[in-house]
Amino acid sequence: MEMNQIRRMITAAFEGEQYATHFDREKSVLRIERKSDRSGVDLGLNPLVAKAKRRGEVAVEETIEYVKAVLEQMNPVSLAGNEQRIFPVIRAKSFADETKEGVRLISTPHTGETKIMYAVDLGKTYRLIDEKMLKEASWNEEHLSEAARFNLKKLDAPFKQDEVAGNLFYFLSTGDGYEASRVLDKALLSSYAERIEGEFAVGIPHQDVLIFADIRNDAGYDVMQQLMFDFFTNGRVPVTALPFLHEDGELEPVFVLAKNKRPNA
């Protein structure tokens, strides 16, 4: 699909009294905003063109649904009464620390590549929790973290297993938006660590997938590296293309230096 075709498809999806669209040809950015308050989303079309060439119209349709959900979540949200709908979400360490209005987003350090942020589940999407929301609810960050992790533990984790070149890979992709968040469930990690015969590798390439791997030979590192790259480049919210090794309850990022070579931290 070409850029103009994609732009027309997205623009048509937001025609009506509620939304307006504006296209910046120089930057190839399409802005979709609510007419009521001019809040909106700036959508870069170049990355979407690349995705559409690989996946076709479905990539554009998914983006349209995502933008609609983001626009809907701009409505005011309170933490009070929503305690059971709060979850942690994993983001790249470089992810923005503030909202566009300059309000600090609540986050907690995780690894050298990632950090933990917090969200209120809104059904089709979620709203990242900022300092203003926390103050309005008279909560502190410790209470927020405890509530989010408690709710996370209640989520199922139905991994699918695959074997490649003598290595076992486990994939979690439930569609609930918190797949990567399950990496914070220490009980889940411990249960898989007990069954691993080789080295325990963990992948969180984007927010909607979690990969566990039982690496039993050198080929396993190559497979893991390729999986991470593929998922990272195709993810809606990329996190990191680097896999981790799970040792003594900790996650350490590793680099695959060359084909059929063991990664070094």
**Count of beta carbons in the 10 Å neighbourhood of residue 135:** 10
Q: Terminal CA-to-CA distance of the chain, rounded, Å?
A: 40
| Strand-strand pairing, 244-247 and 250-253 | antiparallel
Rounded to whole angstroms, the Cα distance separating 173 from 176 reads 8
Q: Domain boundaries in the chain?
A: 3-72, 83-152, 160-253
Q: Give mean pLDDT in consecutive 10-residue pieces for the chain, a chain of 265 residues.
A: 92 88 93 86 91 90 86 79 95 91 94 96 87 94 96 96 97 95 96 96 96 96 94 91 93 68 42
- Give the relative orientation of helices 45-55 and 3-13 as an angle to the nearest 10 degrees: 100
This prediction's pTM: 0.75
For residue 264, the model assigns a pLDDT of 42
The pLDDT assigned to 126 comes to 86
pLDDT at 256: 61
- d(CA 201, CA 196) in angstroms, rounded, equals 10
Residue 48 to residue 200: CA distance in whole angstroms: 34
Provide the pLDDT for residue 69.
77
